Amino acid sequence: MGVFEKQVYVRADLLQALGEHTGHFWSSPALDPIICDAIRAWMTPAPLAQQQPAALSEAGYQWKQVFLPEGTKLRACFGGQPYFAVVQGAQIKCGEQSISPSRFANLRGSGNRNAWKAIWLRLPSSDEWLPADVCRSARKHAIARMFGDAAPVARSTMRAASRVRQGRGKQPAARRTRASGKAGGERAAIHQMPAAQPSAARQTEVRPPSASAVAHDSDIQRKNGSGRAARRKRRALKRALDHP
């Protein structure tokens, strides 16, 4: 194999770094084959099939609907001064302290800040900081798309159940209201009905006899007679008529 002599200019800091990495001095001839191998590897990289993908870690912190993979960084700010935390394993670490998102958001300040509004997140696969509330909204939309119409139906079912539970407490009052309204309507209908008029026969039976009628009856009784003498006269008259 032939050798060509050619001067190649390499930056001094790169030669020094290569020497420290290989353990040879930067001017040592032992660096020549190493440089050739590096150039050859750059020209013919290893096939993709031989490259082993990095194993995805399943560790992380579950914050309500949002999962924070291991390595996620959290940032909050108070008084213009930011402070940070990182997800390690299944915990959020701020220095050596394991804390929750709410406690991290309120490490400084009055202690009543909403963690979803105060914390910004940077996931391991991203270089951008995003508000935690935005990540939560995106996750909710992703869940809704995943289940299609199941999520709206579940929400409507929950609302209907809530209305039923609320209506149960008010149902006796509503029944009393309807009952009182019905009774009031019946009473109003009774007051509006015309008074029943007594019939002519009932009026005749109940009407007391007048003074003239009483006097007429008395005259008839005096003419016809009363007592035993009158009865004897009537019996004698009857026998005379029966036997002429």
Please report, in angstroms and rounded to a whole number, the separation of the first and last CA atoms in the chain: 190
Q: Are residues 66 and 37 in the same domain?
A: no
The tens digit of pLDDT for each residue in 152-185 reads 555 666 676 677 666 665 555 445 555 455 555 5
Does residue 201 belong to any structural domain of this protein? no
Q: Sorting pLDDT into bands at 50, 70 and 90, what band is 35?
A: confident
Does residue 122 belong to any structural domain of this protein? yes
Which amino acid is located at 145 in the chain? Answer: R
Does residue 210 belong to any structural domain of this protein? no
Give the whole-angstrom CA distance, residue 137 versus residue 68: 15
The tens digit of pLDDT for each residue in 70-129 reads 999 999 998 888 999 999 999 999 988 899 999 999 998 777 899 999 999 999 988 899
The tens digit of pLDDT for each residue in 187-235 reads 555 555 555 455 444 444 545 555 555 555 555 555 555 567 777 877 8
Give the CA angle between residues 183, 188, 189 to the nearest 5°: 95
pLDDT of residue 115: 94
Does residue 241 belong to any structural domain of this protein? no
Q: Full-prediction pTM beyond 0.95? A: no
Query: What DSSP character marks residue 72?
Result: -
* Domain total in the chain: 2
Does residue 237 belong to any structural domain of this protein? no
Does residue 25 belong to any structural domain of this protein? yes
Residue 36 has pLDDT above 70, yes or no: yes
Q: Which of 82, 109, 130 represents a domain boundary (last residue)?
A: 130
CA torsion sign for 190, 194, 195, 200 is negative
Q: Residue 142: name the closest of 72, 68, 65 by CA.
A: 65
Q: Which of 23-37, 44-58, 125-139 has the highest mean pLDDT?
A: 125-139
Does residue 232 belong to any structural domain of this protein? no
Give the CA angle between residues 165, 170, 174 to the nearest 5°: 135
Q: Residue 132: name the closest of 143, 118, 142 by CA.
A: 118
The tens digit of pLDDT for each residue in 65-82 reads 899 999 999 999 988 889
Query: What DSSP character marks residue 26?
Result: T
Give the whole-angstrom CA distance, residue 14 versus residue 8: 13
pLDDT of residue 73: 95
Q: Which of 79, 103, 130 represents a domain boundary (last residue)?
A: 130
**204 vs 244, higher pLDDT:** 244
Cα–chain-centroid distance for residue 210? 84
Does residue 172 belong to any structural domain of this protein? no
Domain that holds residue 34: 1-44
Q: Which of 82, 105, 130 represents a domain boundary (last residue)?
A: 130
